[in-house]
A and B are shown apart, each in its own frame.
Chain A
């Protein structure tokens, strides 16, 4: 008998009598821009309101040094082009990635970022700085609404909440562990 069969047989023999699977209620909450902004700040990110999508390029130029090696499918002033085949050496030098976030979760400041919006799966983590463009209209209150919006999670996708961080040395919080050192949310109307 293979391990698979042995394990499954032991599970069948040992598992208890069936108990029901509960229905998870749809817990609601505050989905306001204020709440979302407060949470993003609390987890170490910053929120910048952009008056109109047309100003995005200009705002990015104001927020980040002009000579940053930048990858983005949303802006015309990018100077690094990235796709799924981009060699690691090129990826490793990216200083700023500006990507589209799908929707934000007000209770924890997380933003859903599916593979399709990443250019390369490693880009959101390997870039030194990350900016996510997010529409103010796309905010939900809790993770219940968040998962309800996801008919599928695709091949790969992440709820990204703030910059990479660690507190592994004496519990002191350090921003910028392995992933992006900073997270900026560019909130568009």
Chain B
């Protein structure tokens, strides 16, 4: 299924689509307020972008520096070339500790690697502890947003889910009470967790520290209660210096939700006495993306979600329509790197309005990359079928002025004479499903121009 076909499913519920659209736009407005209240915000964006550009240009050095410092801190560092190796490393560590109960805080990387199904299949209980993630885990769904994983759901859905799995009263849809239920339910899991898995927001090369940002406190709670902490990170999470965190902590949540900072910005450098800290550094296609000059900037992403909140397509199609771990504009430039054929329709899920690029805190040229992926897909013969044939026809017509002007004449007449049902037929003119064609003009510009008095033509 293509992005637009999956969007159709989301759009069946008009009321929900409107709610989704308006709610995310509201988050975007909160972002604007926070940004305008920070006078140096644009300078911070430039700094963040430059720091990330520099880091990517010396990534081999920083990876090794990070590893060396982390090892010196008593941390175990592991390297995974792909998702399979990542999952094997994590399972190996669990086996080594005889662990069967794992608590996990939010990590898009472990989603990307499909860690949960792998662990479950091997007899490990793995509990997602971020509230939104727990909700979708109970429903066996994928996250639909990088920061707001359950944004596709209404409180009634959550009420039903909790009634079914956590025994809340039927029809209790009060967010406060549902959150309290989750708090009690997850406390038991936290206290029973033998190993805690977390993601990583930033990894500081000069100190070997990993930084994890949450509002709920679930990462800290899980990690600090368990015997073993496994932090899983994509290799692009590196930043050179501790002081660089000042830039990133100032832009991350302001861009994401409009908060001035997350509730917990936690720095893990050494394991607690008698405990273990493991860090798994994952490639899984990232070195390949690093080697694509047009697309490597996508590795600067700090997963704030701002490009999703602002995107007119994402807001009206929902995160699941992208069918990729990272949805929205950034997902549409990351996904073809992983599987060009499967995700061929995603770079087309954009109006190229550029709003994503405007809000991106690390200045990724997202809409330019969307446009470039379209060219790459075209050259590789991987355009979605509907685009391929219409594009071929159009390019043939545009290449021949005679055919173009004759075609225009026919079209102007035809549009006036043919019945509406024919010109707007849904089967062959998907453009007209929700749009009206303009009134065709009497003559073309060329015809009009030819009639103008000679001396007016400069």
Name A residues whose Cβ lies closer than 8 Å to a Cβ of B.
Answer: 2-4, 6-8, 10-22, 24-25, 27, 39, 42-43, 84, 88-89, 91-92, 105, 107-110, 115, 120-122, 124-126, 142-144, 146-148, 150, 152-172, 174, 176-180
List residues of chain A with CB within 8 A of the CB of B264: 125, 158-161, 164, 179
Known: A24-B243, A179-B264. A170 touches B155 (CB 8 A): yes
Interface string of B196-219 (1 = CB under 8 A from A): 000000000001010000011110
Within 8 Å CB of A124, what residues of B?
A: 220
Evaluate contact between A24 and B179: CB separation under 8 angstroms: no
Is the pair B267, A153 in contact by a Cβ cutoff of 8 Å? Answer: yes
The distance in angstroms between the C-alpha atoms of A153 and B149, with both chains bound, is 30
A160-B63 Cα distance, complex, nearest whole Å: 28
Most buried by B among A13, A172, A174: A174
In the complex, the answer to whether B79 meets A160 with C-beta atoms within 8 Å is no
- With A20-B54, A24-B243 known to touch, is A169 a contact of B150 (CB < 8 Å)? yes
In angstroms, Cα B216 to Cα A163, docked, is 9
Instruction: Contacts A3-B79, A88-B225 known; list 11 others, CB within 8 Å.
Output: A15-B290, A22-B54, A27-B40, A27-B44, A143-B249, A160-B264, A164-B264, A176-B180, A178-B186, A178-B216, A180-B217
Given A8-B63, A154-B269, the answer on whether A168 and B245 have CB atoms closer than 8 Å is no
Output the nearest chain A residue to B204 by Cβ-Cβ distance.
Answer: A153
Minimum distance in angstroms from A71 CB to a CB of chain B: 15
CB distance B63 to A171 under 8 Å?
A: no
Cβ-closest chain A residue relative to B159: A169
CB-contact partner of B216 in A143, A153, A156, A164, under 8 A: A164
List residues 72-92 of chain B with CB under 8 A from any CB of chain A.
73, 79-81, 85
CA distance in complex: A47, B54 (Å):
41
Q: Which of A10, A156, A171 contacts B287 (CB 8 A)?
A: A10
Nearest CB of chain A from residue B168's CB, rounded to whole Å: 12
The winner among B176, B215, B221 for most chain A CB atoms within 10 A is B215
Q: Which residues of A contact B394 (CB under 8 A)?
A: none
> Does B68 sit within 8 A of A, measured CB to CB?
no
14 A-B pairs within 8 Å (CB atoms) are namely A3-B81, A10-B283, A19-B57, A20-B54, A21-B51, A21-B54, A92-B191, A110-B261, A126-B221, A164-B215, A169-B150, A171-B27, A176-B183, A179-B264
Query: Contact at B267–A156, with CB atoms within 8 Å?
Result: yes
A178: which of B85, B149, B153, B217 is its contact (CB, 8 Å)? B217
Decide if A171 touches B23 in the complex (CB within 8 Å): yes
Residues of A within 8 Å of B249, CB to CB, are 143, 159
A154 to B220, CA, bound (A): 16
Stretch among B129-137, B315-323, B425-433, B447-455 lining the A interface:
B129-137
Q: Are A147 and B81 in contact (CB under 8 A)?
A: no
Chain B residues with CB below 8 A from A125, complex form:
217, 220-221, 224, 264
* Shortest beta-carbon distance from A41 to chain B in Å: 12
10 nearest CB pairs, A to B: A179-B217, A14-B291, A168-B132, A108-B260, A177-B216, A155-B270, A122-B224, A10-B287, A121-B224, A108-B261
User: Which among A14, A39, A153, A170 is the interface contact of B260 at CB below 8 angstroms?
Assistant: A39
Q: Count B-side interface residues using an 8 Å CB cutoff.
A: 92
Q: Please report the C-alpha to C-alpha distance between residue A155 and residue B221 in the assembled complex, in whole angstroms.
A: 16
Known contacts A84-B272, A142-B246, A155-B269; A169/B179 CB under 8 A: yes
Q: B243 contacts A147, CB within 8 Å?
A: yes
- Given the known interface contacts A165-B263, A174-B179, the answer about A19 and B220 at a Cβ–Cβ threshold of 8 Å is no
Residues on A with C-beta less than 8 A from B270 are: 154-156
Contact A22 B47 (CB under 8 A): yes
In B11-61, which residues have CB < 8 Å from any A CB? 23, 26-27, 38, 40, 43-44, 47, 50-51, 53-54, 56-60
Complexed CA–CA distance, A4 and B190 (Å): 33
Chain A residue contacts of B365, Cβ below 8 A: none
Residues on A with beta carbons closer than 8 Å to the beta carbon of B63: 7-8, 11
CB-CB under 8 A from B261, the residues of chain A are 105, 108-110, 143, 159, 161
Closest CB of chain A to B155's CB: distance in Å? 5
Contacts of A150 in B (CB 8 A): 242
Chain B residues whose CB sits within 8 angstroms of the CB of A91 once the complex forms = 225
Contact B155 A147 (CB under 8 A): no
State whether A6 touches B81 (Cβ < 8 A).
yes
Are B175's CB and A172's CB within 8 A? yes
Contact A158 B291 (CB under 8 A): no
Question: In the complex, are the beta carbons of B60 and A153 less than 8 A apart?
Answer: no
Bound state CA distance, A108 and B266, in angstroms? Answer: 15
Given contacts A13-B291, A39-B260, A168-B132, contact A156 B269 (CB under 8 A): yes
Q: Are A177's CB and B283's CB within 8 A?
A: no
**Is B412 part of the contact surface with A, judged by Cβ < 8 Å?**
no
CB distance from A140 to the nearest CB of B (A): 11
B148 within 8 A of A: yes
A153 to B206, CA, bound (A): 12
* Least CB separation from A179: chain B residue: B217
- Chain B residues with CB under 8 Å of A180's CB are 217
Residues of A contacting B154 with CB < 8 Å? 170
Mark out the residues of chain B between 140 and 185 whose CB falls within 8 Å of any chain A CB in the assembled complex: 148-151, 153-155, 158, 175-176, 178-180, 182-183
With A19-B54, A43-B260 in contact, is A153–B209 under 8 Å at CB?
Answer: yes
Task: Collect the chain B residues with CB atoms within 8 Å of residue A115's CB.
Answer: 272
Taking CB atoms, residues of chain A closer than 8 Å to B50 are: 19-22
B243 contacts A16, C-beta separation under 8 Å = no
Nearest A residue to B162 via CB reads A169
Q: Is the CB of B187 within 8 A of A92?
A: yes
How close is B125's CB to chain A, nearest CB, in angstroms?
A: 18
Instruction: Say if the beta carbon of B314 comes within 8 Å of chain A.
Output: no
User: In the complex, are the beta carbons of B246 and A158 less than 8 A apart?
Assistant: no
User: Across the two chains, which residue of chain B brings its CB closest to A162?
Assistant: B263
